[in-house]
Amino acid sequence: MSTPTTIMQAKTCTIKRVLVDAKVEITPPSYAYGYWRTTPQERQRNLEQWVKEFQDFLRDHRSQDANILSVVPVYEKRCSACDKEYEAFMYADTPDGVATAEHPAIHEGCASCGALKEKGGG
């Protein structure tokens, strides 16, 4: 009878910051969002109204209002082992990583591929 020789070769990973997109963000004049006077729901309504008016302005470009436009890079945290978006999951010191009463989940790793996050990784 053979002896089980399951050796847990822990796969590890680091978290990479990957540029996945870029978008343009516009900061409208402050009256458009009234940050201090309104609730988030009111701000969203005000901004949606402002965007509609801004689009009308772009169509007939008469306004002299200063509008700040910024290019915003969109980053995603990716697992270096599987290259999927990194989502943390807690693993235990058991052959399958599943926590038991004696072995609680104490290691953070990638929820997609099970690689354990290396120390010091983002």
Site for Zn ion in 44-73 (CB under 5 A): none
Q: How far is the CB of 21 from Zn ion (least distance, A)?
A: 21
Member of 79, 91, 116, 117 binding Zn ion (CB under 5 A): 79
Task: Report the alpha-carbon distance of residue 86 to residue 79 in Å, rounded.
Answer: 5
Looking at the DSSP bridge assignments, the partners of residue 92 are: 105
Question: What is residue 122's three-state secondary structure?
Answer: coil
Q: How far is the CB of 83 from Zn ion (least distance, A)?
A: 7
Q: How far is the CB of 113 from Zn ion (least distance, A)?
A: 3
Our finding on whether 32 is near Zn ion (CB under 5 A) is no
Q: How far is the CB of 89 from Zn ion (least distance, A)?
A: 10
Q: Give 112's contacts (C-beta < 8 A, 6+ positions apart).
A: 79, 82, 84, 85, 86, 87
Task: Report the alpha-carbon distance of residue 27 to residue 76 in Å, rounded.
Answer: 23
Our finding on whether 82 is near Zn ion (CB under 5 A) is yes
Which stretches of the chain bind Zn ion, using CB under 5 A?
Answer: 79, 81-82, 110, 112-113, 115
